[in-house]
Amino acid sequence: MKRTLLALGLSVLANGVAQAQEAPCRAPQAAAGQQVRGPVLHVIDGHTLCVATAADPSGWVRLELQDAPAAASWAELMSVGFGRDVVCVVGEAGATCRAEGRSLAAALRAPEVKATAAAWRAGTAPPPGSALRLATAD
């Protein structure tokens, strides 16, 4: 009896872990030439983000930036992209995304991005003169 309960408990736990690790970007992959618009609501790593085309994660499109610096970190992409409205054009090798008319890849190359990312990650205010701007809801 104890083994049956233990097995059942482990099965439920494993199922919960699998659901918790489910990809947050569940929309179908965008095709080359397609334009994707919406806010960045999830950043996977320094090159990959999710653009929300709907409120539910089933409408979040996973995009890999084709022109992001190779050394870009998760915190850096979070600091320049998270919460911003972007327009992305999908190409054969990835997507080019712009926020407020500026390429996210160009923003990742800006000298102040390392300090902004460190401040964002630490939960402190960004350094004076940094490019980080937070949007607020009305």
Q: What is the pLDDT of residues 2-42, one digit of tens each?
A: 444 334 344 434 444 444 456 789 999 999 999 999 999 99
Whole-number average pLDDT of the chain? 81
- The answer to whether 32 touches 66, Cβ cutoff 8 Å, is no
Highest mean pLDDT among 13-22, 46-55, 115-124: 46-55
- Residue 90 exposed, middle or buried by CB count within 10 Å (0-12, 13-18, 19+): buried
- pLDDT value at residue 17: 43
- Taking the CA atoms of the chain, what radius of gyration do you get in angstroms? 18
User: Which has more pLDDT, 138 or 88?
Assistant: 88
Residue 118 has pLDDT above 60, yes or no: yes
Q: How far apart are CA 22 and CA 1, in angstroms?
A: 32
Could you write out the three-class secondary structure of the chain? CHHHHHHHHHHHHHHHHHHHCCCCCCCCCCCCCCEEEEEEEEECCCCEEEEECCCCHHHEEEEEECCCCCCCCHHHHHHHHCCCEEEEEEECCEEEEEECCEEHHHHHHCCCHHHHHHHHHHCCCCCCCCCCCCCCCC
- pLDDT value at residue 108: 96
pTM for this prediction: 0.72
- Least reliable range by pLDDT among 20-29, 54-63, 94-103: 20-29
